[in-house]
Amino acid sequence: HAAEAQRTDLMTITRHVLNEQGRHPESRGDFTILLSHIVLGCKFVASAVNKAGLAKLVGLAGETNVQASTAKHHHARAFTITGCRSVITDPFVAFHLQTRGEEQKKLDVLSNEVFVKALVSSGRTCVLVSEENEEAIFVDPALRGKYCVCFDPLDGSSNIDCGVSIGTIFGIYMIKDKDNVTLGDVLQPGTNMLAAGYCMYGSSCTLVLSTGNGVNGFTLDPSLGEFILTHPNIKIPKKGKIYSVNEGNAKNWDAPTAKYVEKCKYPQDGSSPKSLRYIGSMVADVHRTLLYGGIFLYPADQKSPNGKLRVLYEVFPMSFLMEQAGGQAFTGKHRALEHAPAKLHDRSPIFLGSCDDVEEIKALYASESSTV
Ligand code: P6P
């Protein structure tokens, strides 16, 4: 009977968050409404990604037309969205409007538009930061809510054409005064984040989320169109057997990173070498690290002194999740979440994963700075 009861007791992501919000008596359901719009965006992208091969949506924006030579991605100018609710009430309508007649949009641009419209139409956001938009998006005052969402709508999109898993990454903050929101409200340390998550579009569609009370994983059941709790209370193993880094950058690494990777390959304590697993899509590499343990590194190097990954919508959300799952996240100088970005698309080096593994690289950086 227990198994039967379990099978019919569908713990959807919405129900799970409602339960968690129950712990905050003052909450009026705003967060749950915001999350339901993020979930809708993820369902849309999952469906578009699955259809991509058929609908010729594959590939990046601007790849074929003339401006591609100047900018790989369309960076829309700053814009305020007005009256969004009246125009597009549902991302699916948006999608069909866009594909009917118009030149089909590419997945990265399409995903961004769907998330922006879904977040604005939720009426719970006042400022958005997207990897796809050069400037922050300040929502029309009539539609404003108290949250800021920083997101990468389709991270790893360069992998679309070969079918490697890609994903959406997001972080959520509360804004003190939504009617006077400024860029300063967005450029805050990751320690102020309320919630973070990612949705991985792979062999299955998995949404991993933390609202500050542990990490839970949900898998999309396409027959229901619902994300069902499949990975309750994820905890990353204390130590792992995998290191994940782009070894192609080894020539440019600084000494502590080089020493650490050397230790992974030629351990001096008689332990067996770690395995190297590197997919090149952050969501996929981080998801494997979270479930199997180990360490993911995107270090600084001479080519990119601040590393490659972006603070607001790659480093912060993934660092938040790692800490909530009992792991660590380090920039080479300090705890990743304590960094305060100066600009919207700032980058930061990142070492995240199992507690003991990150501890080792922290010790190497500490000893280097003490000898300098
Ligand atoms: P590299 C994908 O383009 C991305 O932004 C992340 O998803 C991924 O972790 C990283 O870049 C891969 O970078 O330089 O190793 O190809």
Atom of ligand 1 nearest to the CA of 285: 9
pLDDT bucket at 102, cuts 50 / 70 / 90: very low
Model pLDDT for residues 163-197, shown as the tens digit of each residue = 899 999 999 999 989 999 999 999 999 999 999 99
* Minimum mean pLDDT range among 37-46, 143-152, 157-166: 157-166
The residue ranking higher by pLDDT, 1 or 212, is: 212
In a 10 Å sphere around its CB, with 0-12 CB exposed, 13-18 middle and 19+ buried, how is residue 283 labelled?
buried
Distance between CA 123 and CA 329 in Å, rounded?
33
Model pLDDT for residues 49-97, shown as the tens digit of each residue = 887 765 555 555 554 433 333 334 443 333 333 333 333 344 444 454 4
Which protein residues touch ligand 1 with a CB less than 6 Å away? 155-156, 158, 246, 280-282, 285, 308
Atom of ligand 1 nearest to the CA of 278: 15
From the CA of 280, how far away is ligand 1's center (Å)?
Answer: 5
Nearest CA, atom 13, ligand 1: 280
In the chain, what percentage of residues exceed pLDDT 90?
Answer: 72
- Across residues 346-371, what is the average pLDDT? 95
Nearest CA, atom 2, ligand 1: 156
Task: Find residue 253's DSSP bridge partners.
Answer: 301
- Across residues 16-23, what is the average pLDDT? 82
Nearest CA, atom 4, ligand 1: 156
Closest CA to 327 of 351, 363, 311, 303: 351
In a 10 Å sphere around its CB, with 0-12 CB exposed, 13-18 middle and 19+ buried, how is residue 352 labelled?
buried
- 253 alpha carbon, distance to own chain's centre: 25
pLDDT for the residue 16: 92
